[in-house]
Amino acid sequence: MNERKIQKDFIDQIKGKKKVQKKSIDVYKYLVHHSFFDVLVNAYPEFYNIIQAKNLEKEFDKSIFKFMQTKAFSPYIWEMPNEYRKFLKKSNFFKKLKFLNDLLHFEYTELFLFMQKELLSKKHTFEMSKKYKVSKNTTIHKYNYDVINQNFDKKEQIFVLGYFDKELNEVVYRPLNHLLYSFLKFIDKNESLNVNLRLFFKNNKISYKDYAKDFKYVLNELYNKKVLI
C-alpha cells in the first residue's frame, strides 16, 4: 500500500468511515471527536443543555462522527458550528426537535457577530436624504420560535435584529415588528432613505404622514448603532 493510501485509510478510520484496526488509532479518533465536541458545545450551550436534559448524548456523538466525514467548506474553526447546523438540517438527527435549526442559527449569530466586532467609525451625521445600507456585520432574521426567550413549546414567528454594541462591548438582540423588518430588507443602497421609505410605504399602502416620523427616529438610532452604514 503506497503512502497516500495509508494516509487515506488512517483518516477514514479516524472519521469513522472504516472500522478502527488499532487501539492507537482509536485514541486519535476520539481526540478528533473531542475537538469537534468542544467547539460545538461552546458555540451552542443552550443546544447542549437540551441534549443533556433529553438524554440525547449518544445521538449527539453519532452526529459528530457523521459530520466529521463531511467536507469542510471554511478554513476558519469559528465557522465550523454553522456548517454543523447546515449538516443537521439535511440529516435525520434530532428530528423531534422541530425548533433545532432556529435555535442553532440564533446561537451561532452571537459568535458570528462577535467576530465582526471591528466596526467602521461614523463619518457623518444621519440624514434621511443620504444613501445607506444595512451593515453586513448585523443579522436580521425571521424565526418560527421565540429564540430570544427560548420558548420552544409552540411556534411563534418573531423577527430579530442582532449587532455588536461597541458601547456595551457585547452582542445585542432586538425584536423587530414586521414592518421595520420588512423595510430593512427592502432598503436599496442606491437610493436615499427618504426615497426608500416613500416607495416602501406606497407599496404597502401605508400613510407616510402617520409613520414617517417614528421610522426616522428608529433609523437614526440604528445608524448610531452601526446597523445602517
Whether 190 has a pLDDT exceeding 90, the answer reads: yes
CATH topology of domain 119-229: Outer Surface Protein A; domain 3 (3.90.930)
Q: Cell numbers 456595551 label which residue?
A: 168
Where do the domains of the chain lie?
A: 1-97, 119-229
- The greatest distance separating any two alpha carbons of the chain, rounded to the nearest whole angstrom, comes to 78
Where are any strands of DSSP class E within 99-169? 139-143, 158-165
pLDDT digit string, tens, across residues 42-94: 999 999 999 999 999 999 999 998 998 887 778 889 999 999 999 999 999 99
Residue 126 vs residues 151, 161, 162, 197: alpha-carbon distances, Å: 37, 20, 21, 15
Q: Cell numbers 497516500 label which residue?
A: 4
Secondary structure (3-state) at 192 = strand
Residue 105 has which C-alpha cell? 442559527
Whether 1 has a pLDDT exceeding 90, the answer reads: no
Query: Tell me, what DSSP letter sits at residue 25?
Result: H
pLDDT digit string, tens, across residues 148-171: 999 999 999 999 999 999 889 899
Q: Cell numbers 451593515 label which residue?
A: 135
Q: Are strands 139-143 and 170-176 parallel, antiparallel or unpaired?
A: unpaired
Mean pLDDT, the chain, whole residue set: 88
